[in-house]
Amino acid sequence: MRKKLIVGNWKMNGSLAANAALLESLRQGLAGDCKAGVAVAVPAAYLAQAQAELAGSVIAVAAQDVSQHEAGAYTGELSAAMLQDFGVRYTLVGHSERRQYHGETDAVVALKALAALAKGITPIVCVGETLAEREAGQTEQVVKRQLAAVIQQVGHCVSELVVAYEPVWAIGTGKTASPEQAQAVHAVLRAQLAAASEQAGQMVLLYGGSMNAGNAAQLLAQADIDGGLVGGASLKAADFLSIIAAAQ
Q: Which of 95, 97, 104, 186 is catalytic?
A: 95
Strand partners, 244: none
Compute how many other C-beta atoms are within 10 angstroms of the C-beta atom of residue 242: 18
Which position among 5, 6, 9, 226 is part of the footprint of ligand 13P (CB under 6 A)? Answer: 9
Q: Which one of 22-30, 68-76, 153-161, 225-233 is the stretch in contact with ligand 13P (CB under 6 A)?
A: 225-233
Q: Which residues inside 153-212 make contact with ligand 13P, applying CB under 6 A? A: 166, 171-172, 208-211
Q: Does 120 bind ligand 13P (CB under 6 A)?
A: no
Question: Quick one: which H or E segment has residue 38?
Answer: strand 37-41
95 as an active site residue: the answer is yes
Q: Which one of 20-28, 30-38, 194-202, 223-231 is the stretch in contact with ligand 13P (CB under 6 A)?
A: 223-231
CA–CA separation, 67 and 174 (whole Å): 30
Q: Does 215 bind ligand 13P (CB under 6 A)?
A: no
156 as an active site residue: the answer is no
- Cβ proximity to ligand 13P: between 196 and 205 the closer is 205
The answer to whether the CB of 241 falls within 8 A of the CB of 214 is no
- Cβ proximity to ligand 13P: between 29 and 232 the closer is 232
CA–CA separation, 81 and 118 (whole Å): 9
Q: Does 230 bind ligand 13P (CB under 6 A)?
A: yes
Q: Does 227 bind ligand 13P (CB under 6 A)?
A: no
Q: Which of 106, 114, 115 is nearest to 146 (CA)?
A: 106
Q: Does 6 bind ligand 13P (CB under 6 A)?
A: no
CA–CA separation, 29 and 135 (whole Å): 41
Burial class (CB in 10 A: 0-12, 13-18, 19+), 158: buried
Q: Does 42 bind ligand 13P (CB under 6 A)?
A: no
Burial class (CB in 10 A: 0-12, 13-18, 19+), 40: buried
Q: Which of 104, 129, 166, 186 is catalytic?
A: 166
Q: Which residues inside 71-110 make contact with ligand 13P, applying CB under 6 A? A: 95
Q: Does 39 bind ligand 13P (CB under 6 A)?
A: no
CA–CA separation, 188 and 181 (whole Å): 11
Residues assigned a catalytic role: 95, 166
Binding site for ligand 13P (CB under 6 A): 9, 95, 166, 171-172, 208-211, 229-233
